[in-house]
Amino acid sequence: MKLTSKKLAKTAELALDDMKGQSIKIIDVRKLTEITDYMVIATGRSSTHIKALANEVVEKIEEAGGKIVGVEGKIQSDWVLVDAGDVVVHIMMAPVRALYNLEDLWSFQADAPKAE
């Protein structure tokens, strides 16, 4: 059975939830970019928690048959990005998440009129 991008996003969501990630959100960006299909965004309580969340996401995606393209930001750990190709997972500290506000950015893009 093929692991669809939607199932991959749900796998990441469940991994984050299992490790007590906060405010987990899946955003469908298929109509907005060719880079990825879904973005999963979650908040961690501390840099240690964010590293643990990222490790769990990597482990669960690989167990499900997905491939990890890369992981960025684990040294500072206020924002870790897990790139699983069709799904990109952003795990952030609350102030960083509020500052970059990816949910509103991508929602705005979805609502913006398309250029002719």
CATH code: domain 5-111 is 3.30.460.10
Per-residue model confidence (pLDDT) at position 24:
95
H runs (alpha helix) in the chain: 5-18, 47-63, 94-100, 102-111
Domain ranges of the chain: 5-111
- Residue 17 carries which DSSP code? H
| Regions of the chain short of the pLDDT cut 70 | 1, 107-116
Res 111: pLDDT: 53
pLDDT attached to residue 1: 53
Q: What is the pLDDT of residue 104?
A: 81
Is 0.75 surpassed by the pTM of this model? yes
The confidence score (pLDDT) of residue 23 equals 95
Per-residue model confidence (pLDDT) at position 77: 81
